[in-house]
A and B are shown apart, each in its own frame.
Chain A
Amino acid sequence: MDEQALIRKAQKGDTDAFADLLALHEHFVYNLALRTIRSPEEAEDIAQDAFVRAWQALPSFRGQSSFRTWIYRIVLNLCFSRFPRLRRELNDLATEDMQDLPEASKTESDPAASLERRERRALLHREIERLSDSQRLLISLRYQDNMPYEEIASLVGLPLGTVKTGLFRAKERLRQSLAIYECLDNM
């Protein structure tokens, strides 16, 4: 059964259809909460609350956005109300000095380079965890959900330029961490 049919049935109070929707989205919803606020307990609580609120509000869901975007909005509103500093942090992302980093090129590498690449990837994953909450939120939406910049901007309620700046600064910080790591590695 497709998602639209599940939504229509769930809107009429069918809990089995809602269970199927839950199975489709639970990991993404929990992931967004966890990547944004880091605490697994809080993330689970927010994700659970988001699904219950989604169930309550489902009759008013008109399908103007995808179900996932709609429930993400609920997750973010819960995050903003429980952690007001997240909203402030997002608002503080200034738009000046914004540039786009070029897209990555696809390159084949030898096994040794591949091993090094894996090490650097692990390091960067740790560094992503150390970014600010707002930067992790933007990265999660952009790279884990493949959301276009415009949709992210609409979801978090920020201008498009601010979203791009936030992502640029996050990448810039990762680049600096990588540079320090490589400098230490060459010593």
Chain B
Amino acid sequence: MNEPMMEEIDVIEDALQTWPIAQAPRGFSRRVLQHVETTQQSVLKFRFTWLDYALGLFAASLPFLVLFIWDLLPSSFIMLLTYRLFLLVNSPQSEAILIFFLLGIIGVLILIALATFLFTYPKTVYQILADSS
């Protein structure tokens, strides 16, 4: 690259680097703070979406669905299921199965309780998170 070209680049870089930073107008921060003092900070918001409603509806309809399907099943198949269930309950591992089943239910209940707490007291949850970070 020749000398004049290098000089041009120097001049352009110099102009770019010295392009002045504009100062905010007088009273700008005062005007912003006036707005801020009358504006609420947003808190974490939990909103239901169509998916929540769809899942809720599906979960609520499950017992009815089970009953409906149960009625439709042939009696021979119901007998077979009853026999299998009888074997399971009387098997040596039934206690372990029952314990895992109960633990699962407790886990789900804890999750539901947490979600309810988050939904009801979002600001408190936010403060706990902010203090811990």
Contact = CB atoms under 8 A, between A and B. Distances in A.
A-B complex is real? yes
Interface of A: 8, 11-13, 15, 18-19, 22-23, 26-31, 34-35, 40, 43-44, 47-48, 51-52, 55-60, 101-105, 107, 117, 120-121, 124-125, 128, 139-140, 142-144, 171, 174-175, 178-179
A144 B11 contact: no
B3 to A, nearest CB: 11
Dominant secondary structure at the B interface: helix
Contacts, number: 127
B100 to A, nearest CB: 37
Interface in B17-55: 17-25, 28-29, 31-33, 35-37, 39-44
A13 B33 CA distance: 13
A128 B19 CA distance: 8
B10 interface: yes
A175 B8 contact: yes
A29 B25 CA distance: 12
B109 interface: no
Interface in B89-103: none
B127 interface: yes
The number of chain B residues touching the other chain, given as a range, is 35 or more
B6 interface: yes
Interface of B: 1, 6, 8-25, 28-29, 31-33, 35-37, 39-44, 126-127, 130
B36 A60 contact: no
B36 A124 contact: no
14 contacts: A11-B130, A15-B36, A27-B21, A30-B28, A56-B42, A57-B42, A59-B42, A101-B9, A107-B10, A125-B15, A128-B16, A140-B19, A142-B16, A174-B15
B32 A51 contact: yes
Given A12-B127, A26-B28, A121 B14 contact: yes
A172 to B, nearest CB: 9
A52 B36 contact: yes
A179 B41 contact: no
Contacts of A19: 29, 33
